[in-house]
Structure 1
Amino acid sequence: MDIHSDIPYTRESLRNPLREFDLYLPPGSIADPTTRPTICFVHGGAWRSEDKKEHSVLAENLVHHTGLAVVVPNYRLTPHEETRDNVLRHPSHTEDILNFLEFLLTWEGPPGCGRVFDPTQLFLMGHSCGAHMLSSILLDSSMVTASLTPSRSLLDAVKGVVMSEGIYDLDLLNLHFPDYLGWFIAPAFGTLESYSPFAVTSYALRRRTLSWLLIHSQGDTLVDFSQSEKMLNHLKSEYGTSADERICYNTALTQGHDDILVTDEFVKIVGHFIEKALDKH
């Protein structure tokens, strides 16, 4: 496997590890790698923790199982100890991810390699808060966060999206897990009476031909089923009669919130979804 680490996706003059990504390429030669789709995994961590390196096992497993390139970006995080000079709140984290995805569309590849995947065929994966971030881009959040509006080219490039253990409705999450308000919701979104404007379950579809896979493990004790079920019902309402064709919901896993990411079962579920989505295009 060929791994390219710490690639910047912005034009900052000084290196910023939180605005870099890692690229994992399958071994062996491919006649034309520029026709190969790629998978992008956006990590969770409550908008305040985790690093792309922590998900190298998942990335390598995805490469081995699918034969596709995998990219894992970092993004700026809300600090654990907030001061007047280091506040970072939504939508800043998601703006970084949007900038990264737009960057992929025109990136010429690692030095000396050239393009190693087709930027017009992207599969996006969001775990926990990563699911909220991707949903804020792929669904129409423009009335709340206009800065998260993707280009037409990016919307056309995304062939499928996988959401695992997703956070979608902050008020509902706070109702079931009150400790989360002070732990990460208020630090990442500000102290508000209601977080309903940021519920992605109220955002309309930007594109009706996108395929979705929602995964929620029976063993997840950090985010409960009500999150994924509300998102599922919202998407079904948006898609109407085409919902069964466009939306998959999988609750077969039994591991913990993050533990699912290093299981063979998780990778197989994702790989099967990608294979089916490619057959549609």
Structure 2
Amino acid sequence: MPSRFVRRLLPGLGLLALGLTLAACSGQTAGGSAQNLLNAAVSTRGLEVTREQQYGPDTRNVLDVYAPPNAQNAPVVLFVHGGSWQGGDKDGHKFVGESLARAGYVTGVMNYRLAPQNRYPAYIQDTAAALRWMRDNAAKFGGNPDNLFVSGHSAGAFNAVEAVVNERWLREAGVPIRAVRGVIGIAGPYSYDFRQFQSRVAFPEGGTPDEIMPDRHVRPDAPPHLLLVAENDTTVHPQNALNMEVALKRAGVPVTRTVLPRLNHITVVGALARRLTFLGGTRQQVIEFIEKNRLR
């Protein structure tokens, strides 16, 4: 029998889950409303939350850190939001920071420069720079600077994967490649012809998929990857994760591709929230991957 508190909470969570489901079909307004409702229901009480940390010179080069109380040598996770590289922000993903911090991880939730004013590779360079900041400052929050993980949703998953599998970006940012223990891509567009979609404004004019897509850039010493796919995703085609998996395996990189039933492009990230784990297995998959690959 659910507790009285849970019984009071269930109707609101049901409406929130419905809102997240409808958001995939109703556009950014519905998605933003559901996201705001979710964040309003999230309490960070007891966590160490440090906001608006500047990791680079642009006004969008800021991140928030969510740390467990009295953390010691904890894994460090950087989360990158989605939004077709043209929208979204860290403030809409408070629920991710709270959820992963409650799991015991020092978690950074970042903003990055947006298209069309800033095209590839600006947002990849921002991801690598934010990861450098998290590594440099990990110890202040009780994190281990050599126990780094990078995750992202949708466009943010592209950023997370590209920033790590392409040897250029970590090297340019000054992040030792061995410091990154794993990458978690959630519903990411890793392998598609952007020239056929509105998102082409996020990429250089005249650019080609062979020059830009992460599945063309895999280095053989990349860390393990977890690629999460929403079964009912109608925004990012599952072939993206299939192609990325093939490229990683071809390079000898450990990879797990998991299709999560019933979830769509929005609910797959919503299910990272502790109060929405009934939607699907996103949070469990992420935690299990980090626990398997973290330094001990």
Q: Give the TM-score category using the shorter length.
A: 0.7 to 0.9
- Aligned partner of 1:98 in structure 2 is 128
- CA spacing shift, 1:42–1:52, aligned 2, 3 Å: same
2:240 pairs with one of 213, 224, 227: 227
- CA spacing shift, 1:108–1:138, aligned 2, 3 Å: closer
- CA spacing shift, 1:48–1:148, aligned 2, 3 Å: farther
Q: C-alpha distance in 2, partners of 1:115/1:161? A: 21
* Superposed CA offset, 1:63-110 (max 9, x none): 22x21111111111014xxxxxxx32111111111111122222276x
- Aligned partner of 1:53 in structure 2 is 91
Does residue 36 (structure 1) correspond to residue 51 (structure 2)? The answer is no
- Aligned partner of 1:133 in structure 2 is 159
Does residue 121 (structure 1) correspond to residue 137 (structure 2)? The answer is no
Contact 2:187 2:230 in 1 (8 A): yes
The one-letter amino acid of 2:242's match is E
- Aligned partner of 1:20 in structure 2 is 62
Contact 1:213 1:248 in 2 (8 A): yes
- Aligned partner of 1:156 in structure 2 is 178
Equivalent residues in 2 for 1:191-270 (5 A)? 191-192=205-206, 194-205=208-219, 207-208=221-222, 210-239=223-252, 246-263=254-271, 264=277, 265-270=281-286
Q: Segments of 4+ in structure 1 off by > 4 A?
A: 150-153
- Aligned partner of 2:199 in structure 1 is 184
Contact 1:169 1:198 in 2 (8 A): no
- CA spacing shift, 1:261–1:78, aligned 2, 3 Å: same
- Aligned partner of 2:108 in structure 1 is 71
Q: C-alpha distance in 1, partners of 2:207/2:166? A: 23
The one-letter amino acid of 2:203's match is F
Structure 1 counterpart SS, 2:235: coil
Does residue 4 (structure 1) correspond to residue 50 (structure 2)? The answer is yes
Q: C-alpha distance in 1, partners of 2:63/2:160? A: 16
Runs (5+) with no aligned partner, structure 2: 1-46, 272-276
Structure 1 counterpart SS, 2:227: strand
Q: C-alpha distance in 2, partners of 1:193/1:120? A: 34
Structure 2 counterpart SS, 1:205: coil
Contact 1:37 1:123 in 2 (8 A): yes
Contact 2:147 2:294 in 1 (8 A): no
Deviation at 1:231, TM superposition (A): 0.4
- Aligned partner of 1:83 in structure 2 is none
- CA spacing shift, 1:47–1:141, aligned 2, 3 Å: farther
* Superposed CA offset, 1:162-188 (max 9, x none): 0111111231x66xxx4x2xx221x11
Deviation at 1:116, TM superposition (A): 2.5
Deviation at 1:201, TM superposition (A): 1.3
Identity between Structure 1 and Structure 2 (%): 25
Question: How many pairs were matched up?
Answer: 242
Structure 2 counterpart SS, 1:196: helix
- CA spacing shift, 1:150–1:161, aligned 2, 3 Å: farther
Structure 1 counterpart SS, 2:50: strand
Q: C-alpha distance in 2, partners of 1:278/1:97? A: 20
Contact 1:165 1:217 in 2 (8 A): yes
Q: What's the TM-score once normalised by structure 2's chain length?
A: 0.75
Q: C-alpha distance in 2, partners of 1:164/1:235? A: 16
Q: Cα RMSD between the aligned structures?
A: 2.2
Q: C-alpha distance in 1, partners of 2:111/2:264? A: 23
Contact 2:170 2:176 in 1 (8 A): no
